[in-house]
Structure 1
Amino acid sequence: MISIVIPVKNEESVIEKTLLKLKEIKTLDYEVIVSDGHSTDTTVEICKKYADKVIEPENPQKTIAAGKNAGAAVARGEFLLFIDADIIIPEPDILLNKVLSYMQSDPSILGVTVSLRVFPEMQTFLDWVIFGAVNWVHYFRNNWIGSGSSSGEFQFVRHEAFKQIGGFEEKFAVGEDNVMFWRLSRIGKTRMLKKLFVYHTGRRAHIIGWPKLLYQWLSNSFYLAFRNKSSMDKWEPIR
């Protein structure tokens, strides 16, 4: 079984489309788990129509990592797939079968990610350039030098390996996705399947601008590498 875990907070504008697309999965055993971060809109109501489980914690989760871990804690699958609320997996039945077959072909592969693309109708030239570079970095690190790296939009991992590394580091407000993949690469292999891709909105770059987002990415990478902490106390939701 594949357990698909989606952390959400005030995602009423995008989450229904994401969940409906997952309904196209026909040949795989899977469950959808939504982990809510105290939404104040109709997100929870929408998710309850489509998801198998909706987690509503009594106290607000401090980080996205905590929300992901809460979802993983109730997951029944041998494999976990973490995606964002604004992700669309094109032909999800075909793509997930390819990822699953790839992982089953080599038990030492503990995590797989894929390429990221902004929806064509939303994509700017800078989106194409920068996310193209991000995809190349993930491919180089995972497939060439064995230093796990992945954005949080799509992370397909073995459940037992995820438990072995302690899940996501909840003290990190941002960067928990990259750190999780790096830890997996310390005990096995991680891979990036560059010919497979998912779509996302690119909304953070579009709203705050690429210069600011690139600065946040670079400063956070520095803090994680040399200070073992995030550069920010909170990763502000962008909606």
Structure 2
Amino acid sequence: MEAELTIVIPAKNEVKMLPKLLKSLCKQDYEGMAQTRVIVADAESTDGTVEVALSFRDRLNVEVIPGGLPSVGRNAGARLATTRFVLFLDADVELPEPTLLRRALWKMTRRDLHLATTNISCRHGGFFDDALYAGNNLVQRMSSFVSPFATGMFMLFDREAFWRLGGFNERALFAEDYLLSKGVERLRFRIVRGKVLTTNRRFKKLGHARMVWMFFKTMLHSWDEGYFLEDQGYWEELEA
């Protein structure tokens, strides 16, 4: 079977979370998984992330390349892709449903889509964590009738459409995934039934109120590209 998919995962010091994602990819029932390149764009990790990624080479077609900020790492991986589709995943997610990848690719092909995403749920989250991700899913669903909205946790792109949009803006310091997804044609975007699991570490670091405020500010500045080029302190606080 000729490869049709490349997976790109930006990572920095994800030795604890990355194995969960890679194990979940091993369990996918997508028949082309063995031919799928899994590119980990590593941003100079110091915790053994690279070694953990390469330890999966007997189960996945894994390779590690130099990364940087998520937008830089994603674009670096996408430049190496030659397949029709490119799937961008965050390193701290996992795919709990073994059919998700197969179904997402089927929908991309059947509907001739440019971008597909799915819902987000929190692994071992509390009430407020679950509520905020449920709110995110609702906004994502409602906005799909006007302008696509997807996060880097799961973005399945048609590669040519991705580059026509210019790829991820490497100057963007905040919400670069949203900035890109809103450029997709509404009728070429779908939300695939299912979910990815993530952690609540963003909420623990920044606080629920701060995350909600940043989300609404993103919506308010959705057409102001300059806002996304300003430092909002997101990555500095997460890495603190």
The CA distance in 2 between the partners of 1:40 and 1:54, in whole Å, is 14
Given that residues 181 and 190 in structure 1 are in contact (C-alpha distance below 8 angstroms), is that contact kept between their aligned partners in structure 2?
Answer: no
> Quick one: which amino acid aligns to residue 192 of structure 1?
I
Using structure 2 for the length normalisation, give the TM-score. 0.87
Per-residue Cα deviation, 1:203-224 (whole angstroms, up to 9, x for no partner)? 1112321012222233344445
The CA distance in 2 between the partners of 1:15 and 1:213, in whole Å, is 23
The total of aligned residue pairs comes to: 227
> Quick one: which amino acid aligns to residue 137 of structure 1?
V
Given that residues 115 and 197 in structure 1 are in contact (C-alpha distance below 8 angstroms), is that contact kept between their aligned partners in structure 2?
Answer: yes
1:13 to 11, 16, 19: 16
Q: CA deviation at 1:238?
A: 4.5
2:115 to 111, 116, 122: 111
The CA distance in 1 between the partners of 2:232 and 2:213, in whole Å, is 16
> Quick one: which amino acid aligns to residue 3 of structure 1?
T
Q: Secondary structure at the match of 1:34?
A: strand
Using structure 1 for the length normalisation, give the TM-score. 0.87
Given that residues 64 and 173 in structure 1 are in contact (C-alpha distance below 8 angstroms), is that contact kept between their aligned partners in structure 2?
Answer: no
1:80 to 76, 86, 110: 86
Given that residues 66 and 73 in structure 2 are in contact (C-alpha distance below 8 angstroms), is that contact kept between their aligned partners in structure 1?
Answer: no
The CA distance in 1 between the partners of 2:181 and 2:49, in whole Å, is 28
1:212 to 201, 206, 210: 210
Matching residue of 1:44: 50
Matching residue of 1:148: 148
The CA distance in 2 between the partners of 1:201 and 1:42, in whole Å, is 20
The CA distance in 1 between the partners of 2:78 and 2:185, in whole Å, is 19
Q: Secondary structure at the match of 1:20?
A: helix
The CA distance in 2 between the partners of 1:215 and 1:67, in whole Å, is 27
**Superposition pairs of residues 180-191 of structure 1, within 5 angstroms:** 180-185=180-185, 189-191=188-190
Given that residues 118 and 191 in structure 2 are in contact (C-alpha distance below 8 angstroms), is that contact kept between their aligned partners in structure 1?
Answer: yes
The CA distance in 1 between the partners of 2:169 and 2:219, in whole Å, is 15
Q: CA deviation at 1:229?
A: 3.1
Matching residue of 2:103: 98
> Quick one: which amino acid aligns to residue 20 of structure 2?
K
Q: Secondary structure at the match of 1:228?
A: helix
Q: CA deviation at 1:6?
A: 0.4
The CA distance in 1 between the partners of 2:49 and 2:209, in whole Å, is 30
**Superposition pairs of residues 28-43 of structure 1, within 5 angstroms:** 28-29=32-33, 30-43=36-49
Q: Secondary structure at the match of 2:74?
A: helix
The CA distance in 2 between the partners of 1:52 and 1:173, in whole Å, is 28
The CA distance in 1 between the partners of 2:82 and 2:27, in whole Å, is 20
Q: CA deviation at 1:76?
A: 2.8
Tell me the C-alpha RMSD between the 2 structures: 1.9
Per-residue Cα deviation, 1:171-199 (whole angstroms, up to 9, x for no partner)? 1112111111111227x611112x31111
Per-residue Cα deviation, 1:87-106 (whole angstroms, up to 9, x for no partner)? 110133x1111111111112
The CA distance in 1 between the partners of 2:200 and 2:172, in whole Å, is 22
The structure-2 alpha-carbon separation of the partners of 1:221 and 1:170, relative to structure 1 and needing over 3 Å to count, comes to farther
> Quick one: which amino acid aligns to residue 142 of structure 2?
F
The structure-2 alpha-carbon separation of the partners of 1:136 and 1:233, relative to structure 1 and needing over 3 Å to count, comes to closer
